[in-house]
A = this chain, B = another copy of it.
Amino acid sequence: MTATRRKVCFPITNRAYYGRSQMLLKKLQAHPGIELKLMLGGSILLDKYSRHIADDIQAGGFEIASSLFNVIEGGNHVAMAKTACLTALEFTNELYTANPDVVVICGDRFEQLAIAMAAAYLNITIAHIEGGDVTGSIDESVRHAITKLAHLHFVTNADAQRRVLAMGEDPKYVFNTGSLDVELAASINTAITRDEVNGFGVGHAIDVERPFLMVVQHPVTTEADNRLHLETTLRAVAALDVPAIWFWPNADAGTGEMADSLRHMRERHAELTAKMHFITNVPADRFVALLANTACLVGNSSAGIKECSYLGTPVVNIGGRQQGRLSGEHVTHVGYDSAEIAAAVTAQLAHGPYPSSNIYHRANASDAVVDVLASAELYTQKRFFEAD
């Protein structure tokens, strides 16, 4: 009966969250007891980060309830902070009008905390996906602050579960479902063609039959040297003389100087980028296919820790962004040092693929989330839970 369907609002603010949530979204959409409202805001509406994603979403049969342009230019801390505030303001209006039973907050991005705050103040039940992990950057603070505003917790591993409980959440509402990203990675056709890859982005044409690197290096908002750190990685990769696909950084504070540096390097140091292919984004399943095919992932993406644990892809993780996150033997952790990066990548190329690991993988993660959203008893008054 329509009258008893739960209204679930799902704010999506960047390409990665859409990518990793696809299976979940399809199942929410299909569930007879749930009315799904997708709300878009932030960088996912901007071509430079997410070309065509809004179109893809609609092509996927989803109705977009709201499209809120609220990214403030600057690529620095003040722009990031104000983007969060404006996001919160606009989602307040949308959530107030939609009046949902549950709002789903994903991960640890700054604008998701802002939306969680708006939902909490509107007295709406909040479900949080991927709480309890430990990392670097502002994400570390944001993730746990969302946990303390949220009512239903979907964690991806046992360590995270332990921490969410330590923070005073009620065990009855903490669910270790495994990672949606890894569930998706496990379900994807990983074949990819040369034409497909080179149809995205610009620069050197990649031969997918031969070893190539992938670089995904995002800003670390709590560090001051994002430009330098990017150039350190770029010089290391250039020195290796292996073809590489370089992904554009996401919209966190520091992205301005990193993007500027990449443009500068391409225009003024063409010799360093001669074997690099630059991509702003690809569909989520093609990103996974690239992860499955690359000889080594370099940078600081969580995909290196999570998806690659299952795929067995060698990873060189740089700097503090993923520091503390549960990671498998496929990851070599290095500092911001060209020689150290180059040596680690060389070793990973020599090593080759690792066996698949299940530290982040559980079958049917998205089904588990849907079940809880459809049937859990909802509440809004939180209370710090202390085991006796």
A contacts, CB < 8 Å to B: 45-48, 66-74, 76-82, 84-86, 88-90, 92-93, 96-97, 110, 113-114, 117-118, 120-123, 134, 136-138, 140-142, 144-149, 163, 166-168, 202, 221-223, 253, 256, 260, 267, 320, 323-324, 380-384, 386
Residue contact B74 to A45, C-beta cutoff 8 Å: yes
Residues of B within 8 A of A74 (CB): 45-46, 69, 71
Measured CB to CB, the closest approach of chain B to A41, in angstroms, equals 11
Residue contact A384 to B324, C-beta cutoff 8 Å: yes
- Interchain Cβ contacts under 8 Å between A and B, 8 examples: A69-B73, A72-B73, A81-B96, A82-B89, A82-B93, A85-B88, A85-B89, A144-B167
Measured CB to CB, the closest approach of chain B to A51, in angstroms, equals 9
Residues of B within 8 A of A163 (CB): 168, 384, 386
Residues of B within 8 A of A121 (CB): 77, 80-81, 84, 110, 138, 221, 253
Question: If A117-B117, A163-B386 touch, does A381 touch B78 (CB 8 Å cutoff)?
Answer: no
Residues of B within 8 A of A97 (CB): 66-67
Residue contact B118 to A144, C-beta cutoff 8 Å: no
Question: If A47-B256, A47-B260 touch, does A77 touch B381 (CB 8 Å cutoff)?
Answer: no
In the assembled complex, the Cα of A320 lies from the Cα of B71 at a distance in Å of: 30
A interface secondary structure, majority? helix
Question: If A47-B260, A73-B71 touch, does A144 touch B168 (CB 8 Å cutoff)?
Answer: yes
In the assembled complex, the Cα of A214 lies from the Cα of B239 at a distance in Å of: 40
Residue contact B78 to A134, C-beta cutoff 8 Å: no
Measured CB to CB, the closest approach of chain B to A23, in angstroms, equals 29
Residues of B within 8 A of A79 (CB): 69
In the assembled complex, the Cα of A46 lies from the Cα of B257 at a distance in Å of: 11
